[in-house]
Structure 1
Amino acid sequence: MQFTFPTTLNLGLEHSEGFHQELLRGLTHKLNNLLAVIQGFSSLILMTDDLDPGVSENMQHIREASVGVTNLSERIRSAGGCAKITPQSLSLNEYLPVIEGAVTEPFQKEGVQLEADVQAGLPPILVDPTKFKDILTELLKNAAEAASKGGGRCALKICGPGAITPAEQRRVDILVSNTGSQIPPEKLQEIFRPFHGSKNSNHLGLGLTIAAMLSHQMNIQLGVASENNTTTFWLSCPMA
């Protein structure tokens, strides 16, 4: 199986810790401050008892739009390598039951079967638990949506050192795969680039860019392969 990796994003240290990231972090912070003012005053106006229905509807649209921009701002910050990462030792065997709801939600929503194969006694990995969850749920959501469109199934496989990567590399490997779809080679090369997603215009095309950037910041190897009507994402996580 031939995997494609987000090397085209140039995720070197000079990019993740440099001037542009500092600028982006500052700009999104200022933007969020302005959006908080819009959200606050629009909420106050909506609390008016005798507010004209037309004005109320317009103010509701303004408030919803400002909340949407706030969420987009946070995603852009993560995609730009500005997310704060706090690595710690994490046992997947203990952590996965805690986030079971988030893991299974995409499959319940899409009506897709998920087959999970998690090796017992996995060694702990060194990741930021919240950011790791963001990566994993993004890959699972993508798999569920793709399988739903193609009438396929999904699988999650997690195994310790020696099963996929050599044992001396001390890595825990996670495979998220779905049948029923295949990504064309020309799109596979662009899949981690911002705004280059293969979905419709209702999606921003930032999910896999964020996953790639967060993986880079946590020394997680992220790759994708798509062949024989099956797409597989591979996360290789460092042991603690």
Structure 2
Amino acid sequence: MTDTPQISEAGFAAIDPDQLFPTTRSRHAPRILILYGSLRDRSFSRFAAEEAGRILTRLGADVRIFDPRDLPQPDTVPLDHPKVAELRDLVQWSEGMVWSSPERHGAMTGIMKSQIDWIPLSLGSVRPTQGKTLAVMQVCGGSQSFNTVNQLRILGRWMRLLTIPNQSSVAKAWDEFDEDGRMKPSPYYDRIVDVMEELVKFTLLTRDIKDHLVDRYSERVESHDALSQRVNQAKAVAK
């Protein structure tokens, strides 16, 4: 039986409780960005997003909703395109996000995916989504489905977002909103309130320690090894 690899002391340390429970906490309203996945005039994913925004505002959050109209397809324009820059700036500003998409052909829409694809995994040394919170929602034209929220969860994990446990899926969305786009009282509405409450709570709990929560041993070892290599190269040149 072979020995298991040894843990590298360079990247290994005991968990420091003081980093998990900071004595100084942010006092500003939690900053939440909402994305929705349809351009239709009567867009139920936008209606759900706007309803979520109203609830979040009542819960004390600072809310911004991104309008995806005029956002080009990924990789077709420079990064300084006004809509691309607006989206990226909002992601950096935010401490949490809500993604609200219709389900089309059993999946999220291209509009929803394009917005997520424009969000970079890193900007220089900054990862704009890492450790921030995420709530996922979908609206369905027919019976209730969870395909889209499940896909959004996969993307959230890939973007290193802290996706909250609760989620919303609104069946027969065409029957759940009035002519003004306001959601009718229903268990579906109550679930969105539940999800937004949970999002605010998780955001308040984690925003001051998000970098510590997602700090990875493997990356610390890699950084240490890379630094050691550069130091050794510099010493070799100096000789």
TM-score, with length taken from structure 2: 0.23
Q: Counting strand residues as a fraction of each chain, which structure ranks higher?
A: 1
Q: Counting helix residues as a fraction of each chain, which structure ranks higher?
A: 1
The higher radius of gyration belongs to: 2
